[in-house]
Amino acid sequence: MQTKENKEILIAPSVLSADFSRLGEEVKNVCDAGCDYVHIDVMDGHFVPNLTMGPMIVKSIAKASSKPLDIHLMVKNVPFFVELFAPLKPAFMSVHIEEVQHLHRIIWQIKDLGIKAGVVLNPHTNEQDLEYILPDVDLVLLMSVDPGFSGQSFIPSSLKKLENLKNLRDRLNPNCILEIDGGVSDKNITALKNAGIDMVVAGSYIFGSNDYKQAIQSLR
Ligand code: DX5
Ligand code: ZN
């Protein structure tokens, strides 16, 4: 029987680490390998020092994917990007707390579009900043690297932060999903599970392996 303690975690491979010359095939392969969501990193060259995918590419990914999309917006001008990606009907769309002036407005905008809304915290942002928004969100995404690139090292203080966040979540919104993104691998997955994670993003760990199915299984 699955209790809350031994439940399986959700896995969302980040296509940022995929081979972009064979993007459709990569997306299909990782879906066939048993992931739960496909994580999409949208970067605008302003909020982060990198530029990735616009809606045309993400539309092609959605076509190739048999799994729902989990869109992570690393952008300035957040309302514009929410409108731009909403027609692709992702399961989740998450925005950075550091960039949004009027967070409830954006969260409700995303929900009104029929999409589950998430809020993202950079590694240095205090989880206590979520106190007044947590009851309104479907997901919290903790960055465990400074956003911008895949293949970076996991920031160790993220574990303590996750434990604190879990307490806050259990108190304020037990149904909210806790997701972590950056440097996730077989080296830290057990500690993340013990700290209460529900869903992990993994880029280089999955796409850098030569057996996606085995990589996903090893995280579960
Ligand atoms: C970083 C992105 C991540 C990244 C994860 O800004 O948000 O999703 O692709 O890649 P790994 O798992 O390699 O750290
Ligand atoms: Zn991401």
pLDDT per residue over 104-135, tens digit each? 999 999 999 999 999 999 999 999 999 999 99
pTM of the model: 0.96
Chain mean pLDDT for the chain? 96
What superfamily does domain 10-219 belong to in CATH? Aldolase class I (3.20.20.70)
The CA 1 to ligand 1 mean position distance, Å, reads 32
Q: Which ligand is nearest to the CA of 47?
A: 1
Give catalytic residue positions. Answer: 41, 181
Residue 6 has a pLDDT of 59
Taking the domains of the chain in order of start, what are their residue ranges? 10-219
Q: Write out pLDDT tens, residues 60-80.
A: 999 999 999 999 999 999 999
201 ligand 1 Cβ < 6 A: yes
pLDDT of residue 1: 45
List the end-to-end C-alpha distance of the chain, in Å, as a whole number: 16
Average pLDDT over residues 17-34: 98
User: Does residue 3 have a pLDDT over 60?
Assistant: no
Q: Is the CB of 151 under 6 A from ligand 1?
A: yes
Separation in Å, CA 217 to CA 10, 165, 205, 211: 11, 26, 12, 10
Q: Which residue from 37, 73, 146, 150 has its CB within 8 A of the most atoms of ligand 1, so it is best to mutate? A: 150
Residue 72: count of CB within 10 angstroms of its CB: 27
| Cα–Cα distance, 126 to 149 (Å, whole number) | 22
54: enclosing H helix or E strand = none
Q: What is the pLDDT of residue 157?
A: 97
Ligand 1 atom nearest residue 184's Cα: 12
Would you state the pLDDT for residue 7? 73
Judge if the beta carbon of residue 184 lies within 6 A of ligand 1: yes
* pLDDT tens digits for range 154-207: 999 999 999 999 999 999 999 999 999 999 999 999 999 999 999 999 999 999
Q: Is the CB of 41 under 6 A from ligand 1?
A: yes
Report pLDDT for 103. 98
As a whole number of angstroms, the distance between CA 137 and CA 168 comes to: 13
Give residue 172 CA to ligand 2 midpoint distance, Å.
Answer: 25
User: What is the spatial distance between Cα 75 and Cα 44, in angstroms, rounded to a whole number?
Assistant: 5
